[in-house]
Amino acid sequence: MSGGALITLKEDATEAGASSNGSGGNSNMAHNQQASGSGNVSGASSHNVNGGNGGPPEGTRQNSLQRIQLRKQKVFNLPVPQKLAKLSMYSACQSEGCRCTGWKTPQENRHRDVESSSYCPEFTEECRSCRHALQNHIAHLDGISGSQMNDLLGAIIDMENLFMSMQRVEDEDTKKVYLYLFRLLRQCVLTRQQAVIRGPLGDPPFETPCIAKAVSSFVFYKYNHLSQSELQTMTEVAKTFLNFLNHYNFEPPSMRRSGLTHEDASTYKINYTRWLVFCHVPAFCNSLRHFETSLVFGRTLLRTIFKYMAEQLRNKCTSERDRFPADKRSIITLMPKFLDALKSELLKDDSPIWDQGFRLSPAFIIQQRKRLQESNAGPATGSKRTSTGEPAHKRAKKETIDRAIGDGHFEDLTDETVVRAMKAISESKAINKSEILFPVNVSRDENVKAEEQQRAIEFHVVGNSLTKQVDKQTIFWLIGLQAVFAYQLPEMPREYISQLVFDTKHKTLALIKENQPIGGICFRPFSSQGFTEIVFCAVTMSEQVKGYGTHLMNHLKDYSIKHGIRHLLTYADCDAIGYFKKQGFSKDIKLARPVYAGFIKEYDGATLMHCELHPSIVNTQFISVIRKQSEILKELIAQRHNEVQKVRPGLTCFKEGLRSIPVESIPGLREIGWKPQMRAQRTSRPLEESSDPEKLAASFTAILQSLRQHQAAWPFLRPVPAAEVPDYYDHIKYPMDLKTMGERLKQGYYVTRRLFMADMARIFSNCRFYNSPETEYYRCANSLERYFQTKMRELGLWDK
């Protein structure tokens, strides 16, 4: 299934319905969906066609998620024959020559729901379409494990939800995306493979730095002068903003066309599609991998939606002010000021927060991490949760901080150290005269740069023009370049080469030697799309293998970066692929196809290649900088080696009767850079029975709240209803659940952690006693118990 179908799909909802019924599902798909009373994606996305007002209330979103999860659990708990019957409706018939792609219920049972307890088809019942028995549709599922079966059933439910969403949504762009994802899941069920989204949309993250990192940089850049308490408040404001963004529902492109230019509308359509595919739909269809909006999008998207999102956030703060606790209302008060300041930085082209090289101070990162730990220890909010059970906004903040630390906040070498190393390198070269007089290992790049400095060669960007006079020198060079390209590229028609070289929209980077062009790169910049197309690249035969080709490409890269272009694209024939690979090009195209499709010229038998440019790199100096860094590193290693290359006498203290000595007393250990590890002193348990009861209760409250929101907690949220499980209390004499524990906590029952752990252990032991190991309840107990132990260890309350 090609990812390109996402852009080119033309089918409407009725065609999608026909496809699902005829190509392998169940013709009663819509009926089954309604009969089962499931939640669906459109319940949370129908706002897209109703005005995009920031989405439905959080309660509506949570209700939809709960309904979907409940339906899945109901299907997961069905007897195996019923599960297989459900799978057969989406499984191709295994009979030889049969092309039926899904078992369909007989006519007399057409309106019966296979998910209900009242109907379980016999394996001998014939398919209404191909007349083969049901067992012929599930013959390939012999030996499938319970977890694999549940994964397939989960994908089927997600697929049915998407089908229902296609029927309800009105926006054509959104409907096309649902149709694409529906077909993707349909194919995954048929092939029993994991759903992977490939194609022109690219892979997350789509822009760097991401919004979350930029907002974190903004807080430090704008408010690091404030006191610690004020800075913490602004951090909470930023956290609220990112949480709102992660739950924000975008308007479809059809509703935004009037306020955007053609270029901006095209970009917004691409980002809207990415948001649907990677962020919005996976929040309800966990068969697809889910990403947070703030972690995969950057400045371009935020600029497009900021005006509307900020207005809705202001309105929300005003309308829900009274619902906030008194100690949190300062966040509401400061939000307008925060939005105005962020807008200013968003519109500035030179704002440092959007610079990939912007660095947070180590002190600020430590403060951020400390606050994160404190927030994790405190009561969790009712925010949306990820597949790991962690609140989405907390995970976004944690990943933002981890990425900031991962960007390289290690101690740099001092300037003095670098200067000493460079001086030593210079002295070493001065002593070794032969290396200077007869350089056997000088790179071609150095020779080319030396020629350029001596003006033996020159680089000029030239092109034709219809609006101003073109000087004779330029015409002379263009004619010479035409001859170079025609001679070096004999497969290209001369007329075609002339047409492009003299075309006013194309430019050529010319390599001039003795006033004659000896090579060049003909290119066409597409500034509105953010890329440059390389059309021809050639150097005359007599001047090849001298480094001119690499230096030409480096000049073009620097020229593109100077003019705000970050991507190069070209179609390379089989003889040129190796050259372009050496210049940093790859067959892995990071640009979305709609960005360049229809703009770039396509050639039969050629390979499309892409190079992404980094704005902080000066490509013409890159090789020499790396070489200089390598020399400095080798010199520093040599200096350190000389420092530690000493033979010290052995230890004689043990012969004198000592049984042990401190590690740091070993001679020479500190000289080689060893530092003693600062081990935390073991103190008495901070929250043990003798500790502050209020602090202990707060920890228990946080743990309970976190457990309730875990994905495996649903069987233990409240007491088991005797009406639904009549014999439960005959076997379980001392029942326990999370709701009862919450009530006990409020009454002050848990005065020690032992009492709290005992009740929690009883929940899991009761479940494992009553249910067999192959049941979903048993697996939930194991999963939630591991999560409970992890949370207890994080708070220092676990000593087992």
Q: Is the per-residue pLDDT at 261 higher than 80?
A: no
pLDDT cut 70: percent of the chain above it: 76
Q: Is the model's pLDDT at 640 over the cut of 80?
A: no
Q: Could you tell me the two tokens for 671? A: 């000289």
Q: Is residue 13 part of a domain?
A: no
Give the least confident one: 458-472, 497-511, 654-668, 749-763: 654-668
Q: Is there a domain that residue 238 lies in?
A: yes
Asked whether residue 321 is assigned to any structural domain, the reply reads: yes
Give the rounded distance of the alpha carbon of 760 from its chain centre.
36
Note whether 151 and 223 are same-domain residues. no
3-state secondary structure 337-367: HHHHHHHHHHHCCCCHHHCCCCCCCHHHHHH
**Do 175 and 268 lie in a common domain?**
no
- State the pLDDT confidence band at 716, using cuts at 50, 70 and 90: very high
pLDDT for the residue numbered 7: 30
Mean pLDDT of 565-583: 90
Pick the most confident of 113-127, 224-238, 478-492, 688-702.
478-492
Exposure string (b/e) for 38-58, b if CB count within 10 Å is 16 or more?
bbbbbbbbbbbbeebebbbee
pLDDT confidence bin for 623, thresholds 50/70/90? confident
The DSSP code sequence of 603-633 is -TT-EEEEEEPPTT--HHHHHHHHHHHHHHH
> Among residues 587, 605, 624, which one ends one of the domains?
624
How far, in Å, CA of 133 to CA of 136, rounded? 5
Residue 449's pLDDT band, with cuts at 50, 70 and 90, is: confident
- The percentage of the chain sitting over the pLDDT mark of 90, rounded to a whole number, equals 16
For residue 687, name the pLDDT band (cuts at 50, 70, 90).
very low
Q: 275, 290 in Cβ contact below 8 A?
A: no
**588 or 694: which carries more pLDDT confidence?**
588
How many separate helices (H) and strands (E) can be counted in the chain? 30, 6
Q: Are residues 104 and 65 in the same domain?
A: yes
- Is 533 considered catalytic here? yes
Instruction: Give yes or no for residue 655 having a pLDDT over 80.
Output: no
Alpha carbon dihedral 38, 41, 47, 49, in 10-degree steps, equals: -110
pLDDT band at 359; cut points 50, 70, 90: low
Q: What is the pLDDT of residue 694?
A: 79
Indicate if 187 and 215 belong to the same structural domain. no
373-390: average pLDDT: 44
Q: Is residue 544 part of a domain?
A: yes
pTM above 0.75, yes or no: no
Say if residue 89 is in the same domain as residue 227: no
147 and 226 housed in the same domain: no
Q: Which of 307, 341, 365 is the last residue of a domain?
A: 365
Reported as a pLDDT band with limits 50, 70 and 90, residue 62 is: low
The segment with the largest mean pLDDT, out of 19-33, 180-194, 354-368, 600-614, is: 600-614
Task: Please compute the mean of the pLDDT values over residues 483-511 and round it to a whole number.
Answer: 91
Strand partners, 460: 510
User: Which comes out higher in pLDDT, residue 325 or 475?
Assistant: 475
For position 509, what pLDDT does the model report? 94
User: Do 228 and 179 share a domain, yes or no?
Assistant: no
Residue type, 163: F
* Structure confidence at residue 631 (pLDDT): 83
What is the DSSP code string of 645-704? ----PPP-TTTTT-S---GGGSTTTGGGT-----PPPP-S-TTSTTS-HHHHHHHHHHHH
Q: Between these two residues, 202 and 1, which has the higher pLDDT value?
A: 202
Query: Span 247-267, mean pLDDT?
Result: 80
Q: Which residue has the higher pLDDT, 661 or 477?
A: 477
pLDDT tens, residue by residue, 516-548: 999 999 999 998 888 999 999 999 988 888 888
CA–CA separation, 714 and 208 (whole Å): 38
Write phi, then psi, for 499 (nearest 5 degrees): -60, -45
Higher confidence at residue 94 or residue 61?
Answer: 94
Evaluate whether 218 touches 340 at the Cβ level (below 8 Å).
Answer: no
* pLDDT tens-digit map of 407-437: 444 455 666 777 777 777 777 766 554 444 4
In a domain, 742, yes or no: yes
More confident residue, 644 or 28: 644
557, part of any domain: yes
pLDDT at 311 exceeding the cut of 60: yes
CB burial readout 628-642, b (16+ within 10 A) else e: eeebbeebbeeeeee
- Within a domain: residue 237? yes
Task: Give residue 672's pLDDT.
Answer: 67
State residue 536's pLDDT score. Answer: 92
Please tell me the predicted confidence (pLDDT) of residue 533: 94
CB count in 10 Å sphere of residue 24 = 21
What average pLDDT score do residues 692-710 get? Answer: 86
Which amino acid, residue 477? W
Say yes or no: 607 and 729 in one domain.
no
Give 506's pLDDT tier (boundaries 50, 70, 90). Answer: very high
Per-residue model confidence (pLDDT) at position 331: 80
Over residues 190-202, mean pLDDT = 77
Pairwise pLDDT comparison (798 vs 305), residue with the higher score: 305
The 516-526 sheet, strands edge to edge: 457-462, 507-513, 516-526, 531-539, 567-572, 607-612
Q: Using the 3D structure, point to which of 339, 365, 391 is the last residue of a domain.
A: 365
CATH number of residue 766's parent domain: 1.20.920.10
Most confident of 47-56, 245-254, 357-366: 245-254
- Write down the pLDDT at residue 11: 32
Which of the residues 345, 533, 776, 785 is marked catalytic?
A: 533
Give me the pLDDT at residue 47, please: 38
The CA distance from 393 to 390, in Å, is: 9
Structure tokens belonging to residue 61? 């979103």
In this prediction, residue 39 carries a pLDDT of 38
pLDDT-based confidence at 671, cuts 50/70/90? low
List the domain range (segments joined by +) for residue 537.
454-624
Question: Which are the contacts of 22, defined by CB distance < 8 A and separation ≥ 6?
Answer: none
Cα 119 off chain centre by: 43
Which H or E run includes 547? none
Bridge partners, 572 (sequence order): 607
Measure the CA–CA gap between 251 and 1, rounded to whole angstroms. Answer: 28
Tokens representing residue 759 in the block:
């009740």
Contact 530, 595 (CB under 8 A): yes
Question: How many Å apart are CA 369 and CA 367, to the nearest integer?
Answer: 5
Of 108-112, 171-175, 295-299, 776-780, which range is least confident? 108-112
Residue from 683, 684, 686, 690 nearest 751 by CA: 690
The pLDDT score that the predictor gives to residue 196 is 80
Q: How far is CA 103 from CA 126, 179, 193, 215, 394, in A?
A: 8, 22, 20, 52, 44
- Tell me which of 45 and 242 has the higher pLDDT: 242
Q: How far is CA 582 from CA 82, 256, 441, 552, 586, in A?
A: 57, 42, 20, 13, 9
> 748 and 789: one domain?
yes
Tell me: the pLDDT tens digits for 131-190? 888 888 888 887 788 888 888 888 888 888 888 888 888 888 888 888 888 888 888 888
State residue 466's pLDDT score: 87
Q: Would you state the pLDDT for residue 50?
A: 34
Tokens of 564: 């705000």
Q: Which of 247, 267, 245 has the alpha carbon at shortest distance from 257?
A: 267
In a domain, 130, yes or no: yes
Total of domains in the chain: 4
SS3 124: coil
Mean pLDDT of the chain: 77
Please check the confidence at residue 360 and state whether its pLDDT lies above 90: no
First-residue to last-residue Cα distance in the chain: 51
Q: Is there a contact between 718 and 741 (Cβ–Cβ < 8 Å)?
A: no
Q: Which of 15-19, 349-353, 660-664 has the lowest mean pLDDT?
A: 15-19
**Per-residue pLDDT, 462:** 93
Instruction: Determine the Cα–Cα distance for residues 576 and 538; give it in Å rounded to an integer.
Output: 10
Nearest CA-CA partner of 713 in 648, 641, 767, 646: 767
Beta strands at 531-539 and 567-572: parallel, antiparallel or unpaired: parallel
Rounded CA gap, 306 and 530, in Å? Answer: 22
- Does 278 share its domain with 353? yes
pLDDT at 19 over 70: no
Task: Let me know whether 270 and 186 are in one domain.
Answer: no
CATH code, domain carrying 563: 3.40.630.30
What are the pLDDT digits (tens) for 394-409? 444 444 444 443 444 4
Burial of 682 (0-12, 13-18, 19+ CB in 10 A): exposed
Q: Say whether both 309 and 354 belong to one domain.
A: yes
What are the beta bridge partners of residue 353? none
pLDDT tens column, 741-780: 999 888 888 878 888 888 898 999 999 888 888 888 998 9
User: What pLDDT is recorded for position 445?
Assistant: 72
